[in-house]
Amino acid sequence: MKTKDLLTIATAALGTATLTVAFHAGPLLSGNDANPLTATIAKPKLAANGVEMTLSAADGRDFKAGDQPAFELRASNTLNQPSDVVICATLSASAPVSLMSRVMPIPSVLWREQLPLALGPNETKVLTLAARTNLPANSAFSVSLSQVAQVGEATAAGNPGIVVLRFSTVPPVAAPAYADATAARAALIAARR
């Protein structure tokens, strides 16, 4: 390559970088944020009849294939009067999303449990829910909470509730080591010359 070509390339790159910095509206951050403007809910909760409920893995466990998961349900009555609510906890599993597929995998229900909760004014209860099923390997899981209509009331159609917990038994994919990636890049550059 001639010196004049290198100078032209360097000038074009410097000009592009200058324009990018000058006209970029936000801060320059590196990362893999798909949509940095969306809000992230740190601890999702279901609110029904003045009762706020959260769910987490019992004892802070990380679940693996073959485990029977247990969850800790924390229900807090935010009212100054007693409150009753019936909730449904559902554990669903689906195959991991394939990059080659055009359709999303359909989840299947592995476990479902309905719980009637009666709480006094400003009372908090912590319950352990044990799913009596073994977790399959290579699956993505979601646990949702939803309110169940009281006896005598019509059930609301399409009330999926909210997803309060997600986990997976898909083994992590090993990323190539930095040295391997650097060697591959050097070999590619050498081959172009």
What domains sit in the chain, N to C, each tagged with a CATH number?
46-168 (2.60.40.10)
Provide the pLDDT for residue 172: 78
> Three-class SS of residue 93?
strand
pLDDT for res 33: 53
Q: Spell out, as residue ranges, where the chain has pLDDT lower than 70.
A: 1, 19-41, 150-160, 174-185, 188, 193
1-6 — which CB contacts under 8 Å span 24+ positions? Answer: none
Strand partners, 21: none
pTM: 0.64
Tell the burial category of 5 from Cβ atoms under 10 Å away from its Cβ (0-12, 13-18, 19+): exposed
Q: Residue 132: which residues within 8 A CB-CB, separation 6 or more?
A: 68, 111
Supply the pLDDT for residue 1: 67
Whose structure tokens read 């679940």? 63
Question: Which residues have C-beta within 8 Å of that of residue 95, sequence separation ≥ 6?
Answer: 105, 138, 139, 140
pLDDT for 105: 85
